[in-house]
Amino acid sequence: MDRKAAIAAYKERKTVAGIYAIRCLATGEAWVGRAPDLDSIWRCLSFEFSAGSRRTAGLQAAWNAHGAEGLSFEVLEKVDEEIDYVRDKLLKSQLDHWTATLGATPV
């Protein structure tokens, strides 16, 4: 497959939006976030942690203290809605729900 075809295939792939949780295995702290693409969010977050640029101070501190192996990542809920504004509204309400349910800090 040539480069142009690979780029086109990547752009046309179906992404799955949803809610995720990150837990510190040492302290039990939890953070909950929403993402338009659950498949790539952990890579994106890991890059931010490694660069020290994550704005959630407690989460960045947990990464600094325990590293990637000290944190667990899990998908809590997937959202199949394709209309952007409906999906965003649903993600926001579900983020609030999961934050309250788990007693977590929003990311």
pLDDT at 9: 76
pLDDT at 1: 66
Burial label, 70 (beta-carbon count in 10 A; 0-12, 13-18, 19+):
middle
User: 63 near 80, Cβ under 8 Å?
Assistant: no
Task: Give 20-87 as a 3 state SS string.
Answer: EEEEECCCCCEEEEEECCHHHHHHHHHHHHHHCCCCCHHHHHHHHHHCHHHEEEEEEEEECCCCHHHH
pLDDT at 71: 95
Q: Where are the domains of the chain?
A: 14-106
Low-confidence ranges of the chain (pLDDT < 50): none
Q: What is 14-106's CATH number?
A: 3.40.1440.10
